[in-house]
Structures are given as structure tokens and as C-alpha cells.
């Protein structure tokens, strides 16, 4: 499984976005409503990478517009990051879920799906050329830092991606939404984002 043949290797963001809906690189397109493309300035200095669109994102067609997105918005404000100045995307572009009655319950994408979708993220990195990448959660970490990387151990530190970009890893905002120790975990998430801001200076 790979998205390779659907990803244009020339042109810019407009072309990339135009091709995304056609992707059949893994089976996730079959049940989801749509592929959700990354958003933000093409020349953004900072790129934040999440996991997959959730139920809201799949319905609305925009990244981070559901509960995880609201939490991310608050954390960005706390860390002094302007959402309109960063490029936000996901490691996997289609929503993966299981049906429970009428509800669609998020499922973590498989290693095969993460690998299949990777060419889209690679191309976004090539086009945006961010100075700094914030890797949010285990799925984005798997995609960008390999399967051995442990977010819990190596969050909030300066890292380097295989492509040479400076990066900081942190948890996924949805993990903070679900946290039993919300204040502590929200604070730590904001701290990690502040590390990212410092690395850009």
C-alpha cells in the first residue's frame, strides 16, 4: 500500500491539494467522507503534524476543527503561536473509524496505513520547507521519527528529522482532551510548544 502514484512530484501546494481526493493509496478512502488536506501558509516556518482527521474534520473537510482542534487552539494561544501563521496537517489524510450504532469511533491508523500515506507528508515538507516541525503524538512520531521513538521519553527536546528539519515531539492534543490530569497535561503540552517557539528564534 502506498500513495506514491497519486502524489505529484512537481508543482506546488495547489496541485498537491487538487490530487489528494483521488488517492487510493490505502483502503481508508472507502469509508471516510473525504481526504482532509493540510492547511496554512505555504511558507510557514512551523509545521504541526497530527494523526488523522477525526469525525468533525471528516465531515467539515478541515484539519483540527473538533475537540482536539479546540484544545490545540487554546494551547497555541498560551504558547504565543498564531494559528494562522502555522501549517497544520496530519500523518494520515483519511479518517479511520469503527461504527458503533450511529457513532463513528476513531481508530488509530495501522503501521501500513501510516507508511502508505507518508508520500503526502513528505511532499508537504518539501513544499513548505518548515524550519521547525512539531510532531504531535505517536502516529506522527511513527511517520516522521520511526517506530522506536517514544514520545513520552523524548518530548519537548530538540530533535532532527531524517530529512534534516529541526523538530520537537509532544503528545497529541486529543490525549490531553482525555487526560485525567488535565491541568498538568495541558501545561506540559504548552511547555513543549514553547520549546518549539524558542527553537525558531
Binding residues for ligand SF4 (CB under 6 A): 3, 23-26, 28-29, 35, 92-94, 113, 116-117, 120
Residue 54 CB, nearest distance to ligand SF4 (Å)? Answer: 14
Q: Which stretch binds ligand URA (CB under 6 A): 45-53, 116-124, 145-153, 182-190?
A: 45-53
Q: Which residues contact 139 (CB under 8 A, 6 or more apart)?
A: 50, 51, 52, 91, 92, 108, 109, 114, 172
Q: Which does 93 bind (CB under 5 to 8 A by kind): ligand URA, ligand SF4, none?
A: ligand SF4
The closest alpha carbon to 47, from 103, 117, 122, belongs to: 122
The β-bridge partners of 98 are 105
**Beta strands, E only, the chain:** 46-50, 87-90, 97-100, 103-106, 132-136, 159-160, 166-170
Distance between CA atoms of residues 199 and 187, nearest Å: 19
Q: How many CA atoms lie within 13 A of 128 on its CB side?
A: 29
Distance between CA atoms of residues 13 and 173, nearest Å: 26
Q: Which does 170 bind (CB under 5 to 8 A by kind): ligand URA, ligand SF4, none?
A: none
Residue 201 CB, nearest distance to ligand URA (Å)? Answer: 27
Q: How many CA atoms lie within 13 A of 148 on its CB side?
A: 0
Is residue 53 close enough to count as binding ligand URA by CB under 6 A? Answer: yes
Q: Which does 26 bind (CB under 5 to 8 A by kind): ligand SF4, ligand URA, none?
A: ligand SF4
Q: Which does 94 bind (CB under 5 to 8 A by kind): ligand URA, ligand SF4, none?
A: ligand SF4
**Contact residue for ligand URA among 50, 109, 119, 156 (CB under 6 A):** 50
Q: Which does 130 bind (CB under 5 to 8 A by kind): ligand URA, ligand SF4, none?
A: none
By rule CB under 6 A, what string of x and - marks binding of each residue 84-103 to ligand URA?
------x-------------
Please say whether the beta carbons of 7 and 47 come within 8 A.
Answer: no
Q: Which stretch binds ligand URA (CB under 6 A): 21-29, 56-64, 124-132, 163-171?
A: 56-64
Q: In what order do the strands lie in the sheet with 132-136?
A: 87-90, 46-50, 132-136, 166-170, 159-160
Is residue 174 close enough to count as binding ligand URA by CB under 6 A? Answer: yes
Amino acid at each position: 500500500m502506498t500513495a506514491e502514484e497519486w502524489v505529484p512530484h512537481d508543482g506546488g501546494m495547489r496541485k498537491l491539494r487538487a490530487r489528494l481526493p483521488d488517492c487510493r493509496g490505502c483502503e481508508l478512502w472507502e469509508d471516510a467522507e473525504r481526504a482532509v488536506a493540510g492547511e496554512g501558509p505555504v511558507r510557514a516556518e512551523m509545521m504541526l503534524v497530527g494523526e488523522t482527521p477525526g469525525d468533525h474534520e471528516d465531515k467539515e473537510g478541515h484539519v483540527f476543527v473538533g475537540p482536539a482542534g479546540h484544545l490545540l487552539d487554546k494551547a497555541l494561544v498560551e504558547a504565543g503561536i498564531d494559528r494562522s501563521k502555522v501549517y497544520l496537517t496530519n500523518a494520515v489524510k483519511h479518517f479511520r473509524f469503527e461504527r458503533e450504532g450511529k457513532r463513528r469511533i476513531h481508530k488509530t491508523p495501522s503501521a501500513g496505513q501510516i507508511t502508505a500515506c507518508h508520500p503526502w507528508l513528505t511532499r508537504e515538507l518539501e513544499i513548505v520547507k518548515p524550519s521547525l516541525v512539531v510532531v504531535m503524538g505517536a502516529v506522527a512520531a511513527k511517520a516522521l521519527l520511526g517506530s522506536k521513538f517514544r514520545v513520552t521519553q523524548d518530548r519537548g527536546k530538540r530533535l532532527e528529522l531524517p530529512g534534516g528539519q529541526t523538530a520537537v515531539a509532544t503528545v497529541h492534543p486529543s490525549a490531553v482532551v482525555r487526560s485525567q490530569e488535565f491541568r498538568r497535561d495541558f501545561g506540559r503540552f504548552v511547555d513543549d510548544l514553547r520549546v518549539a517557539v524558542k527553537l525558531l528564534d
